[in-house]
Structure 1
């Protein structure tokens, strides 16, 4: 069953119903909210049909056509078909609808990567960009420069906070912007000196236009360094292109416990923009994709914390038993080569057990290796 993140509840870990469409009351911002625009003419129009056609082509005698999938799934059966052919067409349509969900569930994700979506995102905080949208390799972005564009600070991405917390937030924003301006001011003389050493002729020019260009070049270099003290709430606009699989992963990961409300808000709109051109993007009727949002206990961080708690709760005898086993393996040496290729699996399993403080009787080789190598145990990959 497709579920949607509890969009505006930062502590939510699961959701069983779709989040409400945001309104002026539910939008989680005091500042103007981020805007999300899908460039439809530059994006894939039929991601569902494209994935199905790509899958059909794996076993077909010739490449399948996207338009054939669309006719089968979206158009009614021709009235001229005989009952037998109409029944066969209905079965083929049902198989096509089921195939899309089966591809996702089976991990045949390359079929979902042919579709690409080009978004224009505006008024997005640097925090959201850094911590989510640019925290993986499967995207292409062109973002407004903090070097070539001075940050005025007139608008900062501001969440809807209670009055006391909002005052602290605004004070922090003001302090960060003041630091940016002061640092730019302090850096300017040094940058001007360095610029003059590299471009002496430009620095010596005295006509007004040359002086303006010099001041502009120096300012940009000072801003380039000073930008590192800007608040993470500083807004930006950027083009952001992702494939269908990445957007589906966004849809799931936006509900991870540390995802800000801002990220959930933006991702929901990105998905809504795609659903507006292809209602089957999240699966066809009765065959929705199994997009289970991550709960707190599903994350790798939570699993690591659970292991740590197990280690803390370990008895003194259990800890001593592990230490004795470790020392016995080390023998008289401070360090030693424990194995070569024939025993590589056991070596890696031992390394996992050493990190977890687990004895071999408590964690088998196969289970230890699975914890670090089995993609099925990584909920972030979908």
Structure 2
């Protein structure tokens, strides 16, 4: 998997702070931007996020180039509607010698891996045969597996990313998209540390878990560690 943050709004936290200040100021955005210090911007952004006033986060965007992932992952990714996507087309890009993403549960078992590889080889041969028979690539692709490697560019605003991370960084999320979300979060924190300082699954960002009986138990561990730290401070 290759994930790269290729573009983002310059000075994202100052942009958020300027937008928020404008709502309550008689002067214009350009003047406000000049008056706000980095420290003031950070303080205001923390306040906005903690209060759930997130509309101004929509002014900043982050664009990622993603490669070496499966169509299983991208089928899940594009369900996050408040984002823009451009994906490598199987209609226009012929899948000769297509690569596959192999789950660890299959790769770790020699017998299963051998059967997986055999099936992929058979699918490749059939796909190539269809193309040779002048079947359009847009129709030949119907036999390609979900494991087929793909490439995609996606753009999210910061508010949408916070929602994405709350769902996909959770240990209950499917392993491949969870790995993607964790890497995207790491790169976002490098350029907008205040916006994303508490981002992640809801057990981290909100101190709650919505998984009910299917909870992984991480919230209990977080709360126990917090209680222990508070008790230590009182000593």
- Do Structure 1 and Structure 2 share a fold, with TM-score over 0.5? yes
For the aligned residue pairs, the C-alpha RMSD in angstroms reads 3.2
Contact 2:69 2:150 (8 Å CA) reproduced: yes
Contact map agreement 1:147 1:227 (CA 8 A) in 2:
yes
Superposed displacement of residue 278, structure 1: 2.8
The residue that corresponds to 1:119 in the other structure is 64
Counterparts in 2 of 1:44-63, with a 5 A limit? Answer: 44-63=9-28
- 2:112 alignment counterpart: 168
Deviations 1:39-67 (A, max 9, x none): 23xx2122222112111111111234445
Shift of 1:104: 2.6
Higher gyration radius (CA)? 1
- Structure 2 residue aligned with 1:185: 129
Count of residues in correspondence between the two structures: 211
User: 1:227 and 2:192 equivalent?
Assistant: no
Q: Secondary structure at the match of 1:149?
A: coil
Query: What secondary structure does 1:172 align onto?
Result: helix
Higher percent of residues as strand? 2
Distance 1:230 1:110, change over 3 A: same
Shift of the 256–279 alpha-carbon distance from structure 1 to 2, 3 Å rule, reads closer
Do the aligned partners of 1:256 and 1:296 also contact (CA within 8 Å) in 2? no
Instruction: Say whether residues 1:298 and 2:220 are aligned partners.
Output: no
Change (3 A) 1:177 1:293: farther
Separation (CA, whole Å) in 2 of partners of 1:187 and 1:39: 35
Between the aligned partners of 1:52 and 1:228, the Cα distance in structure 2 is: 48
Deviation, 1:115, is 0.5
Q: Does 1:140 align with 2:84?
A: yes
> Which secondary structure does the structure 2 equivalent of 1:39 belong to?
strand
Residues 48 and 281 of structure 1 are in contact (CA less than 8 Å); yes or no, is this contact kept in structure 2? Answer: yes
Distance 1:266 1:273, change over 3 A: same
Equivalent residue for 2:229?
Answer: none
Partner of 1:118, secondary structure, is: strand
- Deviation string 1:222-251 (CA, Å, 9 cap, x unpaired) is x32232332212111121111111222222
Ranges in structure 1 where 5+ consecutive residues have no aligned partner: 1-33, 74-92, 190-217, 304-382
**Pair 262,53 (structure 1): closer, same or farther in 2 beyond 3 Å:** same
For 1:107, the equivalent position in structure 2 comes to 52
Q: Could you tell me how far apart the structure 1 residues matched to 2:80 and 2:200 are? A: 22
Q: Tell me by how many angstroms 1:110 deviates.
A: 1.4
The question of whether the paired residues in 2 share the 8 Å contact of 1:112 and 1:245 is answered with: yes
Q: Where do 5+ consecutive residues of structure 2 fail to align?
A: 216-235
Query: TM-score when scaled to structure 1?
Result: 0.48
Distance change in 2, residues 1:111/1:185 (3 Å): same
User: Residue by residue, what CA displacement relative to the aligned partner does 1:287-345 show, whole Å, maximum 9, x if unpaired?
Assistant: x5686248996149969xxxxxxxxxxxxxxxxxxxxxxxxxxxxxxxxxxxxxxxxxx
